[in-house]
Structure 1
Amino acid sequence: MLAMEYRGPYRIRTVQKPEPRIEHPNDAIVQVLRSCICGSDLHLYHGLVPDTRVGSTFGHEFVGRVIEVGSSVRNLAIGDTVLVPFNIFCGTCFFCRKELFGNCHNVNPEATAAGGIYGYSHTTGGYDGGQAEYVRVPLADVGPTKIPPWMKLDDAVLLTDAFPTGYQAAEMGSIKEGDTVVVFGAGPVGIFAAKSAWLLGAGRVIVVDHVEYRLEFVRNFAQCETVNLKEVDDMVVHLKKMTDWLGPDVCVDAVGAEAVGDFLQHLTGVKLLLQAGSATVLHWCINSVRKGGTVSVVGVYGPTFNAVPMGNVVNKGLTLRANQASVKRHLPRLIEHIEAGRVEPHKIITHRVPLEEVADAYHVFSSKLDNCIKTVLIPPGVTQ
């Protein structure tokens, strides 16, 4: 089969790899109909995630058609069209019973934090991802969700990660009616976090980024205010000034390890790898949010040290919440929002690219060329 292959930082290509096979009675093999390049894939692409091995296939956002099932699979049949949450989870462990599907203990038991994730280095289990023609889906009775007949595939593929992660970012902010919410990052997750903040009762939504076309996009998609950090001398003071000097009620970090805006943080966290990424946005969130406010973190960071101002967290009485999104938990509500027409996820897709051109697609997305917001990869022979 044709698949994306990692060859080292900034080096990927498409190659012929063996097709996946059933390895466990509860596996399924899925023919990929759509896969996405996620902003967090860029952390792998840039070489910032430990134990990203040469030969790996990325891709944790994909939908497809079931073409084979293991002998113990009961909830899926050959021919079903499914969306596959990026979390790999067992459904029965201590954490799964609490609907913390991103923290499943049985799919990556040696990890201290993360559960299993498709195509996201051996720190999350070493599973191959969906930027390929076919993918093995373990624990197929609990992860995949059948796509409603009325739903577009382009909407469904964004339910595998980007939309649920943005929604959980807003949800973890414990937004109360009328709250002011600031979202850092106008990538797909930040865009969906801003849109979701309105669904949860926000009275004001502000998005911060440094790329003007992304800010224009989120203004139109999420009907929010925007701030270009390049035009601001001191982000904390600027946000305080915008909020009667109290600070926003909720701040969302939808950026993570590669934040820009602070030279020292970017140098130590991204260039020199002395931290688990640049903590610039974490500083801005903690220092600008009002006393007693909430900071929600869904941006991806590495598993090592970060210089974070915990003294300010304590002295301001902040609530700090973070996790990988538990996609399966959110799906019923998000499908309802899509069916009701409140959100049209497919509208954030700006580029549809043949899988054969995956290297160019990563370059365009990483370098923020051609007004790229979200890229969908189309395998050979699949009609759009």
Structure 2
Amino acid sequence: MAAAIKTAIMQSVEPAVRHAPLATITSKYDDTRKMKALEWHGTKDIRVIERPVPKVTDPNDVVIKVTATAICGSDLHFYLNYTPGMQKGDVVGHEFMGIVEEVGESVKSVRIGDRIVASFDIGCSSCTYCSNHKLYSSCDNTNDSKKQEALYGHRSAGMFGYTHMTGGWDGGQAQYVRIPFADTNTLKVPDALPDKKALFLSDILPTGWHATEMGQVGEGQTVAIWGCGPVGMLAAQSAHYKKAGRIILIDQEDYRLSHAKKHMPYVETINIKNGTALSQLQQLVLNGPDCVIEAVGFHYAKNPLHKAQMLVGLETDPSEILNEMIMAVRKGGIVSIVGVYVGLTNGFNIGAFMEKGLRMAGGQTPVQRYWPTLLPLVEKGELDPSFVLTHEVPIDDGPKMYKVFNEKQDNCVKVILRPN
């Protein structure tokens, strides 16, 4: 199935590109120093490899010694080989933080010894999307993928440790990482804030917050969230901070729903093993939620027809969850998508979407936009993302923890790796 998905995407486009990146994607390395890093080598094949330490390559770079890095649910897309554009030897991981060890001559806001969190998306701060709209995840200058531009009409920002469709940047599941445009893509954090709280400012807390921003969640509203992983849980926490009246988490794993309920007693839960999300929601919420949030992603097809179409390359992304959300949300409501989708879907219920007068928003999170809001909330304890953490291990255990996380073993919700 994975090969068919990638083939369908990669063969459906003709190369084109509008902008050349302003940063050097391939780092220079110090061959006299070695580090451990997690590399992708194929389906379910993550390896701990010794490789050279990266050096400052452009004047606006920093290099950090990583103190904590996490495995994200979206990392499972390349782990299962669903994501196009992966190459053997790619260093993976996009949630990381550490101590600055080397600083480029043009960097102004970061110094050696600073403790920083990196954004998973790589902005330049100077293009229209970064400077005028604060849409750092849509940066024009950090991704050179011709395939992505031809497939989507434009390119997204580069992303650390993901795929060559997003630039092919070395990732953060390593002992050292080079960060370009450091003044834009790093956040200094106080020493008093522990890693387990600061780290999640790299992605999943801003992404959960972004879901509620796109959904215009406000006081008294009802919010239903498909996916009770870390992002879904932090979307629920964000909705609660915004004084939503009811928050309903939907999943098929009891341990995830129980974990969410234990740490967020204000949430309601639905297990789809007890009936469809739609049927259970219709019993719970008379007119439907005001906002529905998709925090699942594209590779969880349930219907045999969608599985078959994905297998032979007739579609890359199933529409099942989106259709369920469209049917469930109230008339005039909002569909917010932060789960990853990559290509084409069949059977999308455009009629219900139009006739119900719905609005839809989606996209990768412009992490840097939300830092000024979220860091103070985390420092004051008004938001605490650390409750999602269930496992903390050395980087040498990284390959094993990918397997544990993917197979939902040991009640695993979120993994932190310690490289140093």
The answer to whether the superposition gives a TM-score over 0.5 is: yes
The CA deviation string for residues 118-143 of structure 1, in whole angstroms up to 9 with x for no partner, is 00100001101000110110111211
Q: Distance in 2 between matches of 1:212 and 1:273?
A: 32
User: Aligned AA for 1:119?
Assistant: G
Q: Distance in 2 between matches of 1:365 and 1:272?
A: 27
Once the two structures are TM-superposed, the CA of residue 276 in structure 1 deviates from its matched residue by 2.6
SS in structure 1 at match of 2:63? strand
Once the two structures are TM-superposed, the CA of residue 272 in structure 1 deviates from its matched residue by 4.6
The reply on whether 1:226 has 2:269 as its aligned counterpart is: yes
Whether the 8 Å contact between 1:86 and 1:118 is mirrored in structure 2 is yes
Match of 2:296 in 1: 255
Once the two structures are TM-superposed, the CA of residue 361 in structure 1 deviates from its matched residue by 0.6
Q: 1:61 to 1:204 in 2, by over 3 A?
A: same
1:345 to 385, 410, 417: 385
The reply on whether 1:275 has 2:315 as its aligned counterpart is: yes
The reply on whether 1:242 has 2:284 as its aligned counterpart is: yes
Stretch moving more, 197-206 or 274-283: 274-283
Whether the 8 Å contact between 1:171 and 1:200 is mirrored in structure 2 is no
The reply on whether 1:132 has 2:174 as its aligned counterpart is: yes
Match of 1:168 in 2: 210
The reply on whether 1:4 has 2:38 as its aligned counterpart is: yes
Match of 1:49 in 2: 83
The CA deviation string for residues 245-270 of structure 1, in whole angstroms up to 9 with x for no partner, is x111110000011235434334434x
1:330 to 367, 370, 374: 370
Whether the 8 Å contact between 2:184 and 2:368 is mirrored in structure 1 is no
1:19 to 53, 68, 81: 53
Whether the 8 Å contact between 2:233 and 2:260 is mirrored in structure 1 is yes
Task: List alignment gaps of at least 5 residues for structure 2.
Answer: 1-34
Stretch moving more, 274-283 or 251-260: 274-283
Stretch moving more, 71-80 or 334-343: 334-343
Q: 1:193 to 1:272 in 2, by over 3 A?
A: farther
SS in structure 2 at match of 1:251? strand
The CA deviation string for residues 40-89 of structure 1, in whole angstroms up to 9 with x for no partner, is 00001011111111110111000011101112112111111100010101
Match of 2:196 in 1: 154
User: Aligned AA for 2:126?
Assistant: T
2:137 to 97, 102, 112: 102
User: Aligned AA for 1:203?
Assistant: G
Whether the 8 Å contact between 1:229 and 1:261 is mirrored in structure 2 is no
Whether the 8 Å contact between 2:115 and 2:191 is mirrored in structure 1 is no
Once the two structures are TM-superposed, the CA of residue 333 in structure 1 deviates from its matched residue by 1.6
Once the two structures are TM-superposed, the CA of residue 215 in structure 1 deviates from its matched residue by 0.5
Whether the 8 Å contact between 2:241 and 2:383 is mirrored in structure 1 is no
Q: Distance in 1 between matches of 2:385 and 2:322?
A: 27
User: Aligned AA for 1:96?
Assistant: C
Once the two structures are TM-superposed, the CA of residue 336 in structure 1 deviates from its matched residue by 2.1
Match of 1:217 in 2: 259
The CA deviation string for residues 100-120 of structure 1, in whole angstroms up to 9 with x for no partner, is 110001111543242110001
Once the two structures are TM-superposed, the CA of residue 280 in structure 1 deviates from its matched residue by 2.1
Match of 2:107 in 1: 73
Stretch moving more, 330-339 or 305-314: 305-314
User: Aligned AA for 1:241?
Assistant: Q
Stretch moving more, 317-326 or 170-179: 170-179
Once the two structures are TM-superposed, the CA of residue 340 in structure 1 deviates from its matched residue by 2.3
Whether the 8 Å contact between 1:60 and 1:120 is mirrored in structure 2 is yes
Match of 2:244 in 1: 202
Once the two structures are TM-superposed, the CA of residue 345 in structure 1 deviates from its matched residue by 1.4
Task: List alignment gaps of at least 5 residues for structure 1.
Answer: none
Match of 1:265 in 2: 306
Q: Distance in 2 between matches of 1:293 and 1:332?
A: 28
User: Aligned AA for 1:8?
Assistant: G
Whether the 8 Å contact between 1:195 and 1:221 is mirrored in structure 2 is no
Match of 1:285 in 2: 325
Whether the 8 Å contact between 2:140 and 2:155 is mirrored in structure 1 is no
Match of 1:29 in 2: 63
Q: Please give the root-mean-square deviation of Cα atoms over the aligned residues, in Å.
A: 1.4
Q: Distance in 2 between matches of 1:307 and 1:136?
A: 43
Moved segments of 4+, more than 4 Å? none
Once the two structures are TM-superposed, the CA of residue 219 in structure 1 deviates from its matched residue by 1.2
The CA deviation string for residues 152-175 of structure 1, in whole angstroms up to 9 with x for no partner, is 111111110011101111111112
SS in structure 1 at match of 2:335? strand
Once the two structures are TM-superposed, the CA of residue 183 in structure 1 deviates from its matched residue by 0.3
User: Aligned AA for 2:389?
Assistant: I
SS in structure 2 at match of 1:8? coil
Q: 1:71 to 1:295 in 2, by over 3 A?
A: same
For residues 53-64 of structure 1, the aligned pairs below 5 Å read 53-64=87-98
Whether the 8 Å contact between 2:78 and 2:86 is mirrored in structure 1 is yes
Paired-residue identity, %: 40
Q: Distance in 2 between matches of 1:185 and 1:200?
A: 20
Whether the 8 Å contact between 2:228 and 2:250 is mirrored in structure 1 is yes
Question: Number of matched residues?
Answer: 377
Q: Distance in 1 between matches of 2:309 and 2:189?
A: 44
Once the two structures are TM-superposed, the CA of residue 207 in structure 1 deviates from its matched residue by 0.4
Match of 1:372 in 2: 412
